[in-house]
Each structure stands twice: as C-alpha cells, then as structure tokens.
Amino acid sequence: RDLSAYRKTGDLNAQIPTKETVLVQAKGWRRNADGKIEIFADKSPTQVQPALTCAAVPRS
C-alpha cells in the first residue's frame, strides 16, 4: 500500500466546521401511504463540537 501521501512534512491547517452539529434522537416511526418509513425526531439541546485529532508518523 502506498502511504506516501500520509508522510508529508510541513505546516498543516486544521479546519473547524462553521456550523455546529445538532444531535437528534428518534422518538418514533411510521410507514406512510407510499410505503416509506417516516422517522419522528426532537432536537436535542446538546450541541456537539467535533473533537480534533491528529497522528504523527515518525521519520525513519
């Protein structure tokens, strides 16, 4: 497997999404007249900021 793309050195820029992610929890579901499933959900009051992670590859 070619891993050369992951071994680049230099400055990196992390990007943080401008929109906050909103979690929703399904409260129920039903099958509509077309036979498709509809899911009912309420917005959760919890706002989530995705954690940023990174990894380093040692130079050899």
**Residues whose CB is less than 8 angstroms from the CB of residue 30 and which lie 6 or more positions away in sequence, other chains included:** 37, 38, 40
**Residues whose CB is less than 8 angstroms from the CB of residue 25 and which lie 6 or more positions away in sequence, other chains included:** 41, 42, 44
Quote the tokens at residue 28.
Answer: 């129920």
- For the cut 80, the answer to whether the pLDDT of residue 58 exceeds it is no
Residue ranges of E strands in the chain: 21-31, 37-48
Give tens-digit pLDDT for 8-20.
777 767 777 777 7
| Amino acid 34: pLDDT | 92
Stated pTM of the model? 0.34
Give tens-digit pLDDT for 10-57.
776 777 777 776 677 788 889 999 999 998 887 655 555 566 666 666
